[in-house]
Amino acid sequence: MPSPLHVVILAFNGVQVLDVTGPAAVFAAANDAVHEPFYHVHVLSPDGGNVESNSAIRLATDALDTVHPDTIDVWLIAGGDDKGLASFAADERVKAWTLKASKTARRYGSICTGAFALAEFGLAGGKRVATHWQACTELAGRYPEVQVDANALYVEDGRVWTSAGVTTGIDMSLAMVARDLGNPVANAIAKRLVLYARRPGYQSQFSLMLSAQIRADDPFADLISWMKEHLSEKLDVPTLAAKAALSDRSFHRKFTTLIGETPAHFVETLRLDQARNLLATGLSLKEIAAKTGYASASQLSKAFDRRFGMAPVFFREMQLNEIAHEATKACVK
């Protein structure tokens, strides 16, 4: 049995609890999936003991000096409230530990606003990084040497991994597991955690579904949620208008005004967005077409090419090539 990879999640008073527990749950699930302790997760804070999260939940942590930085394979700084994060980033002990750990770790980075500490320690200069969309402007302004990606769910730039925040820490951790143990294991974990889909890093923080629901009034918000769950069914104007209890003409006019695009275009966007996610799962084009409401793989391919300028098969190859390229870079380093 190979020695487990040591994963450290750095926490502090005011930490966002899901930034810690989300990734920790993924790595623990990976151990269950392969029936051995492939990952050993440590939750550390500057002084150890219980830390107060920003949601009234206390987390038990070990002190930073209980784990030698040279032994760490992966370390991540969680995000949290401004006061706690500022105190954490100003701690010279933490800075010294992270600088040492960054020299030998296979991967290191941050979750959510933990990117501020990463930048403060000088570990994000010249790197493309992600953080919560509300903090992107401030991060870019305070650290102009950092290339802030305001859209990505998570970013991998060499050994530096950063995620946009909260649930995206789960997506990034799943990507790490996929790199270490393969996509089947990562997909099994996503299924176990009852995730709707594994989300690739390039996917925007501003999901189509969420943006539409924010703009829409209550009846259309409910309708949009229903559409998401019934992509394989007929979603023409008469069907949607009847669901919204409106005439076809009134529905088309009101939907277009509120959502900013016609019902037909919105349905196609929903379907293609889901098809793009499913391409990472290994399903055949025929299966993806059936799940997203297309009569055939050919019909899906035509719609995909029209919207994205490439065939879905080529898009999938690009994903696989990118993974292989990054894996090769990691091996070279």
Q: Which two tokens stand for residue 7?
A: 């994963």
CB 128 within 8 A of CB 155: yes
- pLDDT one-digit tens code per residue, 310-322: 788 877 776 666 5
200, 246, 279, 320, 324 from 292: Cα distances, Å: 18, 25, 12, 22, 28
On the question of pLDDT at 326 being above 60, the answer is no
Cα–Cα distance measured from residue 229 to residue 292, given in angstroms and rounded to the nearest whole number: 10
Q: Residue 213: which pLDDT band, with cuts at 50, 70 and 90? A: low
pTM summary value? 0.66
pLDDT digits (tens, 9 = 90+) for 148-164: 987 778 889 999 999 98
3-class secondary-structure state, position 43: strand
Q: From edge to edge, which strands make up the β-sheet containing 154-157?
A: 49-52, 58-63, 39-45, 5-10, 74-77, 107-111, 160-163, 154-157
Dihedral sign computed on CA atoms, order 248, 249, 251, 255: positive
Mean pLDDT of 3-31: 95
| Residue 206 pLDDT exceeds 70 | no
Burial of 48 (0-12, 13-18, 19+ CB in 10 A): middle
* 8 Å CB contact between 179 and 187: no
Q: How far apart are CA 98 and CA 123, in angstroms?
A: 9
Residue 279, classified by CB atoms within 10 Å of its CB into exposed (0-12), middle (13-18) or buried (19+), is buried
More confident residue, 136 or 43: 43
**3-state SS class at 5:** strand
pLDDT per position as a tens digit, 272-305: 888 888 887 778 999 999 999 999 999 999 998 8
Question: pLDDT tens, 70-100?
Answer: 999 999 999 999 999 999 999 999 999 999 9
Q: pLDDT tens digits, residue range 92-151?
A: 999 999 999 999 999 999 999 999 999 999 999 999 999 988 888 899 999 999 999 877
List of domains in the chain: 5-192 (3.40.50.880), 208-318 (1.10.10.60)
Average pLDDT of the residues of the chain: 87
Report helix angle 82-89 to 92-104, nearest 10.
70
Report yes or no: 277 and 200 within 8 Å, Cβ to Cβ.
Answer: yes
d(CA 279, CA 319): 9
Rounded Cα–Cα distance for residues 249 and 131 (Å): 42
Residues contacting 50, CB < 8 A, separation 6+ = 58, 59, 60, 61
In degrees rounded to 5, what are phi and psi of residue 63?
Answer: -70, 150
Q: What is the distance between the alpha carbons of residues 11 and 60, in angstroms, rounded to a whole number?
A: 10
